[in-house]
């Protein structure tokens, strides 16, 4: 790859998971702008904007993860007031994160529609698929938080146990979808490496 040429690296494009820390990649990974059409720089700018949305999501995600631990402790202690407060906060945090994620998906979609190199287009397609899977995962988490918020105030032990079981089920679905998203993301990462090797 030509020194100084524009590279679209994984760190610039998309986080390994939307709601977790970004993974930096080897500097040899990426796509050379010289092999692309004139639309590549415009597409890259859109992806850069999408990445800014994802950086904001990372901050929200960290808060989300911390609150989940507090929530589990409150559920174990049957602290109804704390459960309702945390789940209410979680719903708002997840709403904000979902909005940012949808904004990032839209920008990546616009970038894909441009006249760009086929490998770059395939890469973006995989990244979008991974991101959509993550959004689906966190929709499960949002539903679980709403369920607990709306149901945990009851004094009926059976209703509380039902709400806890539903939360566990949706949280497990969330984790499974995040794992699937990571697998898709690995394919995208491999594509970037393979493209870089072809360019060299």
CATH of domain 10-193: 1.20.120
* pLDDT of amino acid 197: 75
pLDDT values of the chain reduced to their tens digit, one per residue, 200 residues: 333 322 332 323 333 333 333 333 333 245 554 444 468 888 888 888 988 888 888 887 777 777 778 888 888 887 888 888 888 888 888 888 889 889 999 999 999 999 888 888 898 999 899 889 989 988 888 888 888 888 776 777 787 788 888 888 988 998 899 899 889 988 988 888 888 777 66
* pLDDT of amino acid 77: 81
Residue 133 in tokens:
């899977």
Q: Burial of 47 by CB count in 10 Å (0-12 exposed, 13-18 middle, 19+ buried)?
A: buried
Domain ranges of the chain: 10-193
Strand partners of residue 32: 7
* pLDDT of amino acid 75: 83
Q: What separation in angstroms does the CA of 114 have from each of 15, 132, 147, 182?
A: 22, 20, 41, 26
* pLDDT of amino acid 180: 93
Radius of gyration of the chain (CA): 20
* pLDDT of amino acid 198: 74
State the Cα–Cα distance between residues 141 and 111, nearest whole angstrom. 29
* pLDDT of amino acid 30: 53
Q: What distance lies between CA 191 and its chain's CA centroid?
A: 19
Look at the block and give the residue holding tokens 């174990």: 76
State the Cα–Cα distance between residues 126 and 188, nearest whole angstrom. 6
State the Cα–Cα distance between residues 120 and 35, nearest whole angstrom. 10
């Amino acid at each position: 790859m030509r020194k100084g040429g524009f590279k679209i690296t994984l760190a610039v494009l998309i986080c390994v998971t939307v709601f977790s820390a970004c993974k930096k990649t080897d500097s040899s990974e990426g796509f050379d702008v010289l092999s692309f059409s004139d639309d590549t720089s415009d597409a890259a700018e859109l992806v850069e904007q999408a990445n800014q949305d994802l950086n904001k999501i990372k901050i929200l995600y960290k808060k989300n993860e911390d609150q989940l631990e507090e929530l589990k402790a409150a559920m174990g202690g049957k602290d109804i007031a704390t459960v309702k407060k945390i789940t209410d906060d979680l719903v708002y945090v997840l709403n904000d994160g979902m909005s940012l994620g949808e904004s990032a998906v839209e920008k990546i979609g616009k970038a894909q529609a441009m006249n760009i190199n086929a490998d770059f287009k395939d890469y973006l397609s995989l990244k979008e698929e991974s991101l959509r899977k993550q959004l689906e995962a966190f929709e499960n988490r949002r539903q679980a938080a709403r369920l607990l918020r709306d149901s945990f105030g009851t004094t009926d032990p059976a209703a509380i146990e039902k709400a806890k079981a539903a939360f566990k089920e949706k949280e497990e679905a969330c984790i499974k979808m995040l794992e699937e998203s990571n697998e898709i993301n690995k394919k995208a990462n491999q594509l970037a490496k393979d493209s870089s090797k072809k360019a060299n």
